[in-house]
Each structure stands twice: as C-alpha cells, then as structure tokens.
A and B are shown apart, each in its own frame.
Chain A
C-alpha cells in the first residue's frame, strides 16, 4: 500500500470485475430455487409405517408433535389369540414450533418420517401451520429417493446377510 490512491484503484477494479461477472441472484417466485436434494423443507409422514411408538413425540425438543391412537384387535387366522395393533388417529406437527432439527426423523425406528425439500407452505395465520397427518402424507410424493450407496463403502447389513445366507446354503 505504498502508492497513494492504490486502494481507490483497487476499489474501482473490484466493482468493475463484479459488474462483468454474471450475478448469481435467483429470481425466486419466477424461477424455482435449486435446492440440494436433502434440503430440510418439511417433514413428511408415511402413515402405514407408523406404529405409534411415540419416540418422535418424546424426543422432539419443543414438543411439536401430537399423536393420538387407539388399540384394535386384529384376528390373524391360525394364531392362538387376536393380536393387538395400534391405530393412528392423529399425527400433527405444529410447524410454528418446529425448529427443523430432524431428531424425530433420526429416531423413527420404522422409517415413517422423511425430510421433503418442499418449503412453500407459509400461511397467513400461525394456527394454520398445524399440519395433520393427511397433509403430512401428501408430502411423501415430494420426498426424493434415497441416495445410492457409496460404491467404495461397506455394503449394507441386508446385503451382507443375504450374501452370507447364500454362501451358507
């Protein structure tokens, strides 16, 4: 910085370079943003996978998952006595409380909850952010397929088990 005015010249150069560089602005409402495939947009529910174990509801840091259920007897032919099964009545997530930590998705043992990159669900009234299980189920369609396994990584447990069984027989 020995030449006086060098900083001024640098300022001019930087702005001119920025001028001729294309801007990276995304014109959002006109052009959909390019989100990474695993974006945390909204939580989707696959209802038939849910066993009402309540793990998600209990692990939720701000208690925004509300679950109601009742038990039903299912008569399985050939069984000694009817089995009991939990039936989901209500599965609500209050997105005005949710902080998108993803713990519920992590803890779900039966893969009933997924991240969906969908994010355009703003409402005019904060109470409308309470989404029921039908609404959460609709988002299952937007959940991207799981990423392929790393070809250099370890094979999954299922694959090794199948291979072991095949070699054993």
Chain B
C-alpha cells in the first residue's frame, strides 16, 4: 500500500520533471520554425534536443543574487511557492482509465482550482520582495489579472463538473461523451483562455511584459531561482493543457481507450500545449485594459451563460 503510494508519487515527480522540459523544447523548436528559424541545433547533437538540460546546467552555475534592498527570506522563498502548487495539481490529473492517476481525490477539481489560486501569492511575494518598481508593477498587474481570471476559470470548470455530476477528475473524464465537445464548447474556450491568463502566457503576459517592465516580478531573479520560475511557467502549461484535455476534450477517451488511453491523454495534452505555444508566436500582447475587459465583459458572462445552459440540459436529461 505504502509502496504503491511511493511509486505513484515518484511517477508524478518524473512527469513533473520531464513533461515541462518536453514542452519547453517543443516551444523552442516550434517557435523557431514559426519564425522561419531553426532554433537550438547544437546541444545534444541532434536538433538541439538537450538544449534545456544545457540551460539547466547554466542556471545552476550562475550566481544566486539577492538584492541588498530586498526582503531576503520572502525573496528566496517565492520561487518554491510558485512551483509547489503545480506539482500538487499534477498529482490528481487522470492519465488513463481506471486508477491511472497520481492520487484519487473525491474533490479533485476543487482541489485543482484551490491550489492553482495559491500561485498568486508567490507572484506577489516575488514582486514585493524584489524592492524594484518594475517587479512591483508586474506583480500588481499579475495579481489583478489572476484575481479577475480566476472567476471565469472556476465557473467554466464548474460547468463541466455540473454536467458530469461529480467533482472528481477521473469521474468527470469517465462521464465524458463526445457530444460534450459541442455542448461544452463555450466553457472549453473560456477555460482555455482564462487558463492561459492564469499561467500568464502570451497574449496574457502583461505582468512580465519584457518590453516595458523588463521581466515583471522575475526581474531581480538569477540562477536557479529564476529557473524555478521558468519551470513553474512550463509546468503551468502542462497543467493547463492536461486539465483542458481531461475536462473538455475527453482525456483518455478514444479508440482502444482501455489499452492506450494514457496515450490519448498525452496526445490531447500535447495538442493543447502546441496551441498554447502557437498563440504565443502569433498573437500580440493584450493591453492591461483590454485584458480586464475581455475577462469581465466577455469571459464571465459567457461562463455564466454556459452554466445556465448546462443546468438546463442536465435538468432536461434527467
């Protein structure tokens, strides 16, 4: 029993360490080719497959600088706080049918939403403790953005939970049916868009807008701590992609789901992650007011309408 738990946690840790690297490498290459470049070609000899490992080694060698004016303990703690929520979330995302999941949790969806919300605290900690006006501005932007987008994020997730009649992530995936793609389409879009905003990816990267805020709340970070923030960003992509795949795209559903369900889940996650990268390349950054307008005037009403629709269909079906 305990061995099984250790094994599961170990496997999730492996996924936590490899999937973000794969996503990061894919981003390097896809982004390069979308911009008619080649991207990394040297590290690892074959098309630069080891670029991120080389980056990790580089980060580990760099000096760990804490600014003199910074609030040391808070400054040093922030990267860990940023990384931890995503690690916890990965525990409950179902990979395949049955109990192919890190940890069966009765209120898995709720757990995910709650824990992802904690990431804001890390951003505020990093922003404030850096003693840098750009960092603080970036942190305030991030907090405003995350507080706003939390609402459509939770509401659209609530819609699918209502449709499935359970809060457990494996339960939702098991209850999923192909026609939900159409029925839950608005919720899918709202969830994906607000998820993008939650992980502060372009076009929602106003908090770290490098052309105006240097790098937002990450400006003062160096070495491994900075690498932690970057890792958190890529784990965030994995988490949001896999959540979108599990909640709205049917997770492990597909032909021969019983045997290769996990492959379907990984493929769907990869496809969503590709879209995340694609949007970064193709779209310009949203201005701060456009960002809030999109959230409150488009996504929240859309999510609420979807909730009404979901409730109506549920009542009509039962």
Contacts and interface: CB of A to CB of B under 8 A. Distances in A.
| Contact between A and B in the complex (any CB pair below 8 Å) | yes
B282 A19 contact: no
Main secondary structure of the interface of B (DSSP, over half): helix
A23 B37 contact: yes
Interface string B275-297: 00011011100000000000000
Main secondary structure of the interface of A (DSSP, over half): helix
A152 interface: no
Contacts of A19: 30, 33-34
Contacts of B37: 23, 25
B35 interface: yes
Interface in A1-37: 8, 11-12, 14-16, 18-19, 21, 23-25, 27
Contacts of B282: 8, 11-12, 14-15
A16 B36 contact: no
B41 A23 contact: no
B33 A27 contact: no
Looking at A15, A24, A27, the one whose CB has the most chain B CB atoms below 10 A away is A15
A23 B34 contact: no
Interface residues of B, number: 14
A18 to B, nearest CB: 5
A23 B283 contact: no
Nearest to B35: A18
Contacts of A24: 36
B33 A23 contact: yes
Nearest to A27: B41
Nearest to A25: B38
Interface string B162-183: 0000000000000000000000
A92 B289 CA distance: 64
B45 to A, nearest CB: 11
Nearest to A14: B282
Of all A-B residue pairs in the complex, the 4 with the closest CB atoms, nearest first, are A11-B282, A15-B34, A15-B282, A25-B38
Interface of A: 8, 11-12, 14-16, 18-19, 21, 23-25, 27
Given A8-B282, A8-B283, A18-B33, 18 more contacts: A11-B283, A12-B278, A12-B279, A12-B282, A15-B35, A15-B278, A16-B34, A16-B278, A18-B34, A18-B35, A18-B36, A19-B34, A23-B33, A23-B36, A23-B37, A23-B38, A25-B38, A27-B41
